[in-house]
Amino acid sequence: MLEKYQEETAVRLVESSLRTSEYRPINVFVNFYSEPEYNFRVPRTNFFPQPNVDAAVVTFRLKQALDYPSVASTKSFFSMVG
């Protein structure tokens, strides 16, 4: 799956780890179901009207259900995380 985000958001989705203050519940969700990869930056000059921020393209390599982390209940797990 390929998606475009504001660059700061893309970096947070891909590069955040448990040891940083940037780590959020969305990071747990993203890493549970996929392997995110930052692909490239899209400069703001490529858009019209031009926004105040750059964008970035991120690929999410979706995991197979067998590759999900082992939890008793995904619903309970995500309610605890969120």
80 vs 70: CA distance, rounded Å: 15
**Domain coordinates of the chain in residue numbers?**
2-81
pLDDT (0 to 100) of residue 64: 96
* Reported pTM: 0.82
Q: Check pLDDT > 90 for residue 80.
A: no
Q: Check pLDDT > 90 for residue 16.
A: no
Taking only the tens place, the pLDDT of each residue in 28-72 is 999 999 999 999 999 999 999 999 999 999 999 999 999 999 998
Please give the backbone phi and psi of residue 7, each rounded to the nearest 5 degrees, phi first: -55, -45
For domain 2-81, the question of CATH label 3.40.50.150 is answered with yes
pLDDT (0 to 100) of residue 22: 74
HSE-CB at 48 with a 13 A cutoff on CA atoms is: 0
